Amino acid sequence: MDCVFCKIAKGEIKARTIVETQKSLAFLDAFPLALGHSLVIPKKHHEKIQDMSPDDNADLFGLVHRVVSMVDKVTGSTLVAVHNGKASGQEIPHVHVHLVPRSSGDSAGPIHSMFSKRPKFSDEQFDDVLRKIKSI
């Protein structure tokens, strides 16, 4: 597999490592959206969060919790983002959590600003999707 994050996890590609655990790794993003933009990845390849074992998931998000506190102390406020699959905007098909430092003048805006055409849903549509999600 030719996965850049797997290569970073194996030490085949150099990264500016912040901290790591046995199962996860945090490092500065090589193409940052802001100074301090960091990524936290599982060392084992998984495309989506739900593909991970509960232990790997707990380790990853435990490290996210630790690193977001570190980044916040330097930058003040941090956006935590996961693109879970290609259709959601995931560019590299390996689970990764973005920690993007934010400031009031960075022009990025809230998550709702990502969608220029926000859909409107009826009560019936809300109820239907709720029923479907809860039935799984």
> Which positions are catalytic?
96
Angstrom distance (rounded) from CA 83 to CA 96: 8
Q: What is the DSSP letter of 92?
A: S
Contact 63, 40 (CB under 8 A): yes
User: What contacts 113, CB < 8 A, 6 or more positions away?
Assistant: none
Per 3-state DSSP, the chain is made up of helix, strand and coil in percentages (nearest 5) of 40, 20, 45
Angstrom distance (rounded) from CA 95 to CA 97: 7
**Which secondary structure element, helix H or strand E, spans residue 130, and what is its range?**
helix 123-135
Backbone φ and ψ for 42, nearest 5 degrees, come out as -75, 145
